[in-house]
Amino acid sequence: MSTTTYDSGPLLDALAAAAEDRIVFDLPGIEERYDALCRELPDVAVRFAMKACPVDEVLARLARRGCGVDAASPKEVEQALAAGVPISRMHYGNTVKSDRNIADAFRLGIRDFATDSLEDVRAVAEHAPGSRVFCRLATTGEGALWGLSNKYGCSPDDALTILETARDLGLTPAGLSVHVGSQQMTADAWHGAVDRIADVLAALARRGISLDHVNLGGGLPALGYRDKHGRPLDPPLDKIFAVIREGMAHLAGIPGHRLRFVIEPGRHLTADHGAIRAHVSRLAARRGPDGERQYWLYLSCGKFNGLYEMDQLQYRLVFPSHRDAESVPAVIAGPTCDSDDAYSHEDGLVPVPRELASGDPVWVLSCGAYATSYMTQGFNGFSPLPYTWIDGEAA
Ligand SMILES: *Cc1c(COP(=O)(O)O)cnc(C)c1O
């Protein structure tokens, strides 16, 4: 068991006070993470990638601090508007959109659209006439837990064609964007992205296209995960920020553009400030097909109700009723009949108290990102978790 400084006392207190399963969001913790990001990257517009935590209270608190939103569908735009995010601080960051998605977003007031293909940019020109577009460049995704490298983004050459076409169709070619991959663990990834953007900016300037912004995308890491083997991931956050600052200075010096900068963190803002109070379904020892006896700890929540990313990483667990107890190595798994509903059992067993009984509380830390958005309606009848939050403000 390890708890580090980003697990706030109030969050742990709220977990201790919960008698039933739930996910708890620490709103002051999320605000502090946002403030820290603004200190690290002053003058950069932060637009929260809301799919990481589409919770009204989270959106409202971030909005109040000046944060914008990266939305991926008209429904997300509507939710963010209702939570108090001004439309002027939102863009449509999804390059995948139907004609109807574009028209609906335009009607809601969106004037900034991501794009990465001629087909899409033509559709934006038709259904959101006169809008601004920014072109997403493909990245390798190397160094990230989730590379996101195939589905999105175009080559530097295609970006030139797409932005020229945008201009010819009456759109404003406004920017370039990247996404270096989710939970990016290396500062080098941003180096590579900056170099790529720099080349395209220079080529655009030669063709008389002047951009007004660069969107550095998502990928900023959460701090509290463990890898598949149970080792702390420990991302080099300070170095990442230093590389981003250097990169922005370099890009701002490229002639022909007057650039602002935008960044779209998702998990970085919320992951470490959400935690689940779950309970033990059963600690059992079974012999598998190989004849080996193996402990399995089945929890009340898993991949389909809060721990969607459990096949790629390990969330930290706390067993509050068995601190400092004798432990056994176990595979951690959720309650459903899906075999993916488990930590990767080839890679890493987790020490768990030997005496755990059905019903004992378990806290799952750093699961405030991609938890609620990935919950199913109730796979196998295991309900999505209800959520609560720590307000942190005197009534
Ligand atoms: C999901 C997404 C993000 C956020 O990614 P994180 O890795 O959570 O920071 C940012 N921008 C876009 C376009 C996305 O799709």
Give residues with Cβ within 8 angstroms of 127, minimum separation 6.
99, 102, 103, 106
Beta strands in the chain (DSSP E): 22-26, 44-49, 68-71, 90-92, 112-115, 132-136, 144-146, 172-177, 182-184, 213-215, 260-263, 274-287, 293-299, 316-318, 327-333, 350-353, 361-365, 387-390
Answer whether 316 contacts ligand 1 (Cβ < 6 A). no
**Could you tell me if 381 and 337 are in contact, meaning their C-beta atoms sit under 8 angstroms apart?**
no
Question: Residue 43 class from Cβ within 10 Å (0-12 exposed, 13-18 middle, 19+ buried)?
Answer: exposed
pLDDT category at 148 given cuts 50, 70, 90 is confident
Whole-structure pTM value: 0.96
The residues, ordered by sequence, that sit 6+ positions from 237 with a Cβ below 8 Å of its Cβ are 220, 221, 223
**Residues sharing a CB contact under 8 Å with residue 42, sequence separation 6 or more, in sequence order:** none
Give the list of residues 6+ apart from residue 95 with CB closer than 8 angstroms, or none. Answer: 114, 115, 116, 117, 120, 136, 152, 153
> For residue 252, what is the enclosing H or E element?
helix 237-252
What are 310-329's pLDDT values in tens digits?
A: 988 999 999 999 988 899 99
Q: What share of the chain in percent tops pLDDT 70?
A: 98
Spacing, Cα 137 to ligand 1 middle (Å): 14
In the numeric block, the tokens 């809601």 are attached to: 108
139: amino acid identity, one letter: T
What is the mean predicted confidence (pLDDT) over 369-379? 95
CA distance 143 to 384: 32
Three-state SS for 378? coil
In this predicted structure, what is the pLDDT of residue 3?
Answer: 40
- Whether 59 shows a pLDDT value over 80: the answer reads yes
Both tokens of 28, joined, read 């002051």
Nearest to 24 by CA among 298, 332, 363, 341: 363
Give me the mean pLDDT over the 91-120 stretch.
98
Measuring CA to CA, which residue among 253, 213, 250 is closest to residue 112? Answer: 213
Q: Average pLDDT for residues 271-277, to the nearest whole number?
A: 98
pLDDT, the chain, mean: 95
Please provide the distance, in angstroms rounded to a whole number, between the alpha carbons at the two ends of the chain.
Answer: 34
pLDDT greater than 80 at residue 284: yes
Torsion of Cα atoms, 77 then 54 then 123 then 130, to 10°: 40
Q: Are 128 and 106 in contact (CB under 8 A)?
A: yes
- What pLDDT, in 10s, does the model give residues 220-270? 999 999 999 999 999 999 999 999 999 999 999 999 999 999 999 999 999
Q: What is the pLDDT of residue 346?
A: 74
Instruction: Give nearest CA residue, ligand 1 atom 8.
Output: 266
Burial class from Cβ neighbours inside 10 Å (0-12, 13-18, 19+) for residue 91 reads buried
Contact 197, 157 (CB under 8 A): no
Neighbours of 279 (CB within 10 A): 16
| Ligand 1 and 51: CB distance under 6 A | yes
φ, ψ for residue 201, nearest 5 deg: -60, -45
Residue/partner pairs of 308-312 with CB below 8 Å, 24 or more apart: 308/370, 308/371, 308/374, 308/375, 309/370, 310/334, 310/341, 310/342, 310/343, 311/340, 311/342, 311/343, 311/344, 312/145, 312/146, 312/228, 312/344
Q: Given this model, what pLDDT does residue 303 score?
A: 96
For 175-209, write each residue's pLDDT tens digit: 999 999 999 999 999 999 999 999 999 999 999 99
Q: What is the mean pLDDT of residues 348-370?
A: 96
Decide: 267 in ligand 1 pocket, CB within 6 A. Answer: yes
pLDDT confidence of residue 395: 55
CA of 151 to the centre of ligand 1 (A): 13
Distance 182 CA to ligand 1 centre (A): 7
What separation in Å is there between the alpha carbon of 214 and the centre of ligand 1?
15
Ligand 1 neighbourhood includes 70 CB (under 6 angstroms):
yes
Say how many Å lie between the CA of residue 146 and the centre of ligand 1: 11
CB of 266 within 6 A of ligand 1: the answer is yes
Task: Output b/e per residue, 236-273; b: 16+ Cβ within 10 A.
Answer: ebeebbebbeebbeebeebeebebebbbbbbbbbbbbb
| Domains, the chain | 27-270 (3.20.20.10), 272-373 (2.40.37.10)
In this prediction, residue 361 carries a pLDDT of 98
Return the pLDDT at 93: 98
Residue listed under structure tokens 């009340």: 300
